[in-house]
Amino acid sequence: MVDKKVQFNLPNQEELKNIKHIIMVMSGKGGVGKSTIAVNLAVALSLEGRKVGLMDIDMHGPNVMRMLGGTEKDHPYQVGEKIVPPEVNGVKVISVSQFVPESGKPIVWRGPIKTGTIKQFFNDIEWEELDYMIIDAPPGTGDEPLTVMQMLKKFDGAIIVTTPSEVSKDDVERAINFFTVMNKKVLGLVENMAYFECPSCHTKHYIFGKDGAKSLAEKYKLPILAEIPISEDIRINMDTGKPAAYFGKPEHVAPYVQLAKRVINEVEKDDKE
Q: Which residues are annotated as a binding site?
A: 28-35
**Nearest residue to 132 via CA among 148, 151, 153, 156:** 156
Q: Are 143 and 111 in contact (CB under 8 A)?
A: yes
Q: Which residues are annotated as a binding site for ATP?
A: 28-35
Rounded to an integer, what distance in angstroms lies between the CA atom of residue 161 and that of residue 225? 10
Q: Are 156 and 185 in contact (CB under 8 A)?
A: yes
Pairing of strands 52-56, 130-136: parallel
Identity of the amino acid at 133: M
- DSSP states along 101-124: -STT------HHHHHHHHHHHHHS
DSSP 183: T
